[in-house]
Amino acid sequence: MRKTTRRDIFKFAAGSAAGLVFTPAPWRLITDTALWSENWPGIPRPARGQTRTRFTHCALCSAGCAVRARCVNDQPVSLSGLAGSPLCAFGLAGHQLPYHTGRVKTGAIEEALAAIAQRRSHDAVAVLDLRPGRTASWTYRRAMAALPRGFYLAAQSAIPAVNLDQVRTLLSFGAPVLDGWGTPSTVLAARSHFRLIQAEPLESHTAMLADLWLPLRKGSEQALALGIAHVLMQEQNAGASFPAEATAYSPARTAQLTGLPEAQIVSVARELAPGGALVLASQEWPEILQLNRLLGSVAHTIVGRRETPVPASWKKAAPVTAIEAVPDGSIGVLLIDESVCDGYLPWNAIEPKLAPAPLVVTFASSRAGYGRYARFTLPTAVYPEMTDDIPPALDSAAATFRLATPLVAAPAGAVEPARFIAQLAGLPPADALRERTDAIQSSGRGVLRTYADGKSIPVKGVKPDDFWKVLNEGGCWVDAPDPVEPPASACQSSSAAVVAMTWEMRLARGPMSPLLSKLYEESNLRVRL
């Protein structure tokens, strides 16, 4: 036999290589790599399955827009509004919130319970509610009434309604009127019949879209309010209710302070016809509140609203205490419900009220809020996992009752703040929402709207069980129109209605869908944030 030489090996290798090209193998391999590039590991494949439409209400803000959810295998894959009631950018991505990477998923629930139990008998306990007016808020008030020393603190005072239909001129001091204030559908529907004047140093979205933008100097909002009041007092002789200091703000001086032309200040003041004007602000400036009073907005554009019925047995509830009214250094245990958020109290307003070594427990889905001051952060369900009701929107003159029902299950370990606090205070275990809806139904007031068929039927003819069912499956209760005079306190509390939370505040408070942050990062739409 011939000996195999190195050359033979080379020949064999070269021959094999050449021969391989004529087999299907390399071509198959090329096709396979291309296929592989389509199904790259890590590219998720969307689940397929039964598609279903479900309804709920968006719990992200108190506008509480109706939501039509497209669900595949009970998982919402997209949200949209109903005809004539669109969702905002926040709401459209709401179904992604449960998957936020910054979400708080675990908390020391048992330890928190034990720690509270230890202190509640001898310490004052307070609940801070960031969305007052809910059924849960009633539970907190009842729970605080059951405790020896309980306070119920609300981040906002009782909210009167804004009747946008009556507004002819809207003067906004930096309030994001067209950018997250009120209910989008209501604001946009009313937009065609009011003139919007935006006084704001920066060109915000609302400033861009306003009929008139007053680019005043930063921090000169109050000066402008006083300057306008000055003109109004002089021209309408209506200065009785206004502070004397306005007299010092002549148009000339106001122009100097704000950097706006004198003639413009006068003309803006003249545009604010009494009765059809509304003044909004991004902060609680008393001057601006008084401007509303001066213009007679209260009872015209700022109106009172009846309360949504509550069971008679709930009347034994703690009053709403203003944070200023709480004695300094008194609160030993502070429980904060951050699961939903419409307004908030700055920590420097809360801190002096706390006793030494306070126990702060916050119920939240993110640590972006009060979490950094709290000993315990207990995880909560987020929209759209939670079961909660949404207080009437500030631009709804009628009382409403709407439920945010879960579209997906809350993770194990999530705490229901209302149930937790009720248990803590020893309230009898009951489904508060069901009790409330029964109370509404038995009042016989108003109509029940069903989203699936778009019908409205009087509550009178609806059975309690059906009423409950409709509210859970997509519907809302709207009170009968019953214009009542605004309560005497409305002037005082109307600040809540006219102070609007801006995007900056919202973003600072809670997480938003990662997709939403992406879109704002990757476009320069919100570059001014």
Partner 1 sequence: MDRQLIARGVRRCSTPQFLLWILPWAALFAFGLYCAGLCLVKGLNQTNMDNRFAFGLWIFVDLTIIALGAGAFFTGFLLYILKLKDLDAVINSAVVIGFVCYSGAVAALLVDVGQPLRAWFTFWYPNVHSMLTEVTFCITCYLAVLLIEYLPIVLRNRKLREVPGFLVFEFELHKLIYVLAGVGTFLSFFHQGSLGGLFGVLRGHPFAFREGLAVWPSTFFLFILSAAAVGPSFILFTTWLISKLSGKRLVRPQVLQLLGRISGLLLGVYVLAKTVDTLIWINRTSPGAGFPAQEYFAWQPFGTWILFAEIVVFGLAPALILLTPRLRLRTNWLVSAAVLACLGVALNRFVMTLQTLALPTLSFDRYLSYWPSWQETGTFLAVVAFGVLVYSFSFRYLLLFPQEREFRQEPAAQVSETAVMDPVGRS
Partner 2 sequence: MTGKRYGMSIDIDRCTGCGACMVACAVENNVPPAPEGATDRKGITWMRVFPVDNGRDGPDRKSVFVPMLCQQCGQDAPCVSVCPQQAVQVDPATGIVGQMPERCLGCRYCMAACPYHARYFNWWDPAWPAGMEKTLNPNVAPRMRGVVEKCNFCHGRWHAAKERAVGRGAREIDPADYVPACVEACPTAAIRFGDLNDPRSPVAQAAQQSGSFRLLEKLGTEPKIYYHSAREWVREIGRAPAGKEQVHG
Tell me which residues touch partner 1 (CB under 8 A).
Answer: 30, 33-34, 36-37
Residues that bind partner 2 (CB under 8 A): 37-40, 42-49, 51, 72, 75-81, 86-89, 92-93, 95-96, 98-101, 178-179, 184-185, 188, 203, 205, 208-209, 213, 215, 513-527
Cβ proximity to partner 2: between 42 and 356 the closer is 42
Residue 23 vs 37, nearer CB to partner 1: 37
Q: Which is nearer to partner 2, 53 or 78 (CB)?
A: 78
CA nearest 500: which of 217, 173, 222?
173
Q: Which of 389, 383, 340, 350 is nearest to 513 (CA)?
A: 383
**Residue placing its CB nearer to partner 1 in the complex, 35 or 412:** 35
Residue 300: contacted member of partner 2, partner 1, none (CB under 5 to 8 Å, by partner type): none
Q: How far is the CB of 35 from partner 1 (least distance, A)?
A: 10
Tokens of 185: 């559908």
Nearest approach, Cβ of residue 337 and partner 2 (Å): 25
Toward partner 2, which CB reaches closer, 82 or 108?
A: 82
Nearest residue to 384 via CA among 56, 152, 132 = 56
- Closer Cβ to partner 2, 178 or 350, answer by number: 178
Greatest alpha-carbon pair distance for the chain in Å reads 126
Beta pairing, strands 169-173 & 195-199: parallel
φ, ψ of residue 231 in degrees (nearest 5) = -60, -45
Please answer whether residues 528 and 387 qualify as being in contact, where contact means their C-beta atoms are separated by less than 8 angstroms: no
HSE, side-chain direction, 13 A CA sphere, residue 371: 21
CA angle 271, 277, 283 (to 5 degrees): 110
State the nearest-atom distance from the C-beta of 234 to partner 1, in Å: 45
Q: Residue 75 binds what, of partner 1, partner 2, none (CB under 5 to 8 Å, by partner type)?
A: partner 2
Q: Are 183 and 90 in contact (CB under 8 A)?
A: no
CA distance 423 to 410: 20
The distance of Cα 445 from the centroid of its chain, to the nearest Å, equals 27
What is the closest distance, in whole angstroms, from the C-beta atom of residue 379 to partner 2 in the complex? 15
Nearer to partner 1, 244 or 527 (CB): 527
Report in angstroms how near the CB of residue 516 gets to partner 1 at its nearest: 20
Do residues 139 and 307 lie in contact, with contact meaning Cβ atoms separated by under 8 Å?
no
Q: Phi-psi category of 174—alpha, beta or left, where left has phi over 0 and alpha has psi -120 to 50? A: left
Minimum distance of partner 2 from residue 472's CB (angstroms) = 22
Closer to partner 2 by Cβ: residue 348 or 523: 523
Tokens at residue 299, please?
């009872």
Question: Distance (Å, rounded) from C-alpha 521 to C-alpha 80?
Answer: 23
Smallest distance from partner 2 to CB 32, Å: 14
Query: 526 touches which of partner 2, partner 1, none (CB within 5 to 8 A by kind)?
Result: partner 2
The residue among 160, 152, 116, 167 whose CA lies nearest residue 273 is 167
Closest-CA residue to 264 (of 277, 273, 251, 253): 251
| Closer residue to partner 1 (CB): 30 or 322 | 30
Question: Which helix H or strand E contains 196, and what residues bound it?
Answer: strand 195-199
Residue 520 binds which entry of partner 1, partner 2, none, with Cβ cut-offs from 5 to 8 Å by kind? Answer: partner 2
Which partner, partner 2, partner 1, none, binds residue 270 by CB below 5 to 8 Å per kind? none
| Residue 30 contacts which entry, partner 2, partner 1, none (Cβ below 5-8 A, type-dependent) | partner 1
CB of 11 or CB of 455, closer to partner 1: 11
Q: Binds 150, which of partner 1, partner 2, none (CB < 5 to 8 A, cut-off by type)?
A: none
Nearer to partner 2, 98 or 343 (CB): 98
List the single partner that 178 binds among partner 2, partner 1, none, CB under 5 to 8 Å by kind: partner 2
- With CB under 5 to 8 Å by kind, the binding choice for 195 among partner 1, partner 2, none is none
| Least distance between partner 1 and beta carbon 241 (Å) | 48
Give the nearest distance from C-beta 42 to partner 1 in angstroms: 12
Q: Residue 311: which of partner 2, partner 1, none does it interact with, CB under 5 to 8 A by kind?
A: none
- Separation between Cα atoms, residue 306 and residue 480, nearest integer Å: 10
Could you tell which of partner 1, partner 2, none binds residue 33, using a CB distance below 5 to 8 A set by kind? partner 1
DSSP secondary structure, 478-522, as one string:
EPPP---PPPTTHHHHTHHHHB---HHHHHHHS---HHHHHHHHH
φ, ψ at 305 (rounded to 5°): -140, 140
Compute the least distance from the CB of residue 203 to partner 1, in Å: 15
Please, what is the minimum distance in Å from the beta carbon of residue 453 to partner 2? 17
